[in-house]
Structure 1
Amino acid sequence: MKGFYSRKIHSLLGVIPLGAFFIEHMMTNFAAVEGGASGFTDSVLWLNSLPLVFFLELFGIWLPLLYHGVYGLYIAYQSKPNLNRFNIERNWRYTLQRITGIVTFIFIVWHLFQTRVQVAVGNVEHEELGGLMHDIVTQPLLLTLYIIGIVAACFHFSNGLWSFLISWGITVGPRAQRVSSYLCLGIFVLVTFMFLISLVTFRDSEFQTAATIAQSIKTFI
């Protein structure tokens, strides 16, 4: 029974609030596509100007992410894929969910270290995050790793949403589950596209120029 509730909490946190944060992060990055370097910077600054932003992030992102990630690794360790015996869609979903969960957790930790941690220790200002991302994605190896991490995260989110709807009794019958499967597939395609096009946009030299200007202003002040 204890494991049942632990898994329920794990499932719930993956959608609320982490799913909401995932979408918000996607929209913030997509601001780079819509508004260029200035649009992205404005979105970042607006988010960090929210009241009690530290507590919002602590209880809405970091603690849920810690629980979901660590317990998810435990679930992956305990899982027993049976693809060799039953090579059907649900078994593939189950296996890929565990694999992408591990990849996503590693990617998020790495991404946070490259961005949020650098801001926290004073190595980078919020206005320079666009330039930082430009430096990352203009390196072929790092770009490839980011693409892998993003696709894994998008699948884990979308497939996890499909599983959430089933485990919480929202989609009960076969027809409802089939419809939700198509919807979640559409979500996967959409969020993957938006994240990847944002990633490619960061390669534009505009972001490097904006970061240089921000650094010059900081040095002058």
Structure 2
Amino acid sequence: MANSHHFLSRKLHSLLGLVPVGLFLLVHLTVNYQATKGAEAFNSGVGFMESLPFLIVLEFVFIYIPLLFHAIYGLYIAFQAKNNVGTFSYFRNQMFLWQRITGVITLIFLAWHVFQTRIQFALGNVELNYDMMANVLSNPGFMIFYIIGTLAAVFHFSNGIWAFLVHWGITVGPRSQRIATYVTMIIFVVVGFIGVRAITAFIQ
């Protein structure tokens, strides 16, 4: 019974990491990327997101609650996990390890990012606009922190796609798993570029 519960929890953890948390990451980075077109384009994108009806309900149902489950159960997995030396290749074991490391980094980054933006906005201390992010990223330390956090989140998402495909029985053979590795690497490079380019747009 315990094994069955753990199996279902792993499935749910993997699914929520991709949908909706992963999709939100892509949307969030796409909105941030509008900063490369200037302050007006970025503010317009943020304004559209903020104007969605029942925004607070949508955020809790599709972002915060799934993210909390994924994060808490992910920490449990990270501290219980052992490298599958007998199951996967050396490369896959390294990716397995980095998945856990980037998960912890991403959690720390997200906690601070939410505090620095959404919570400060709710307290009336800042406005969610281009100037807010430009002010945050004008600090070189925060800029480096945001780049590391963004790349960690993108890696965790990209490599998580590979794990999702395996856990859900979509890629079961070595060839399909190898192809999935190449595809997820491309996703990491493309989405990582979008994320970092968005950050640098605020400091030009």
Match for residue 91 of structure 1? Answer: 93
Q: How many Å separate the matches in 2 of 1:137 and 1:50?
A: 27
Q: How many Å separate the matches in 1 of 2:11 and 2:193?
A: 30
Alignment of 1:101-180 (within 5 A): 101-126=103-128, 129-180=129-180
The amino acid of 2:76's aligned partner reads: Y
- The alpha carbon displacement at 1:82 in A equals 6.2
Q: Deviations over 1:143-182 (max 9, x none)?
A: 1111111111111000001110111111122111111111
Deviates further, 158-167 or 131-140 = 131-140
- The alpha carbon displacement at 1:104 in A equals 0.4
The amino acid of 1:198's aligned partner reads: A
Structure 1 outlier segments of 4+, above 3 Å: none
Match for residue 8 of structure 1? Answer: 11
Match for residue 56 of structure 2? Answer: 54
Q: How many Å separate the matches in 2 of 1:82 and 1:58?
A: 35
Q: Deviations over 1:125-157 (max 9, x none)?
A: 23xx32121122121111111111111111100
Instruction: Tell me how large the CA RMSD over aligned residues is.
Output: 1.4
**Stretches of structure 2 lacking an aligned partner (at least 5 in a row):** none
Q: How many Å separate the matches in 1 of 2:47 and 2:23?
A: 19
User: Between Structure 1 and Structure 2, whose CA radius of gyration is higher?
Assistant: 1
Match for residue 195 of structure 2? Answer: 195
- The alpha carbon displacement at 1:203 in A equals 0.8
Q: How many Å separate the matches in 2 of 1:119 and 1:11?
A: 31
- The alpha carbon displacement at 1:81 in A equals 3.2
Q: How many Å separate the matches in 2 of 1:7 and 1:171?
A: 17
SS of match in other structure, 2:83? coil
Deviates further, 72-81 or 191-200 = 72-81
Length, aligned pairs only: 199
TM normalised by structure 2 equals: 0.93
Match for residue 29 of structure 1? Answer: 32
Q: Deviations over 1:88-124 (max 9, x none)?
A: 0110011000000000000000111001111111111
Q: How many Å separate the matches in 1 of 2:93 and 2:7?
A: 20
Q: How many Å separate the matches in 1 of 2:45 and 2:192?
A: 20
SS of match in other structure, 1:8? helix
Match for residue 210 of structure 1? Answer: none
Identical-pair percentage: 48
SS of match in other structure, 1:115? helix
- The alpha carbon displacement at 1:87 in A equals 6.9
Q: How many Å separate the matches in 2 of 1:113 and 1:81?
A: 34
- The alpha carbon displacement at 1:80 in A equals 2.0
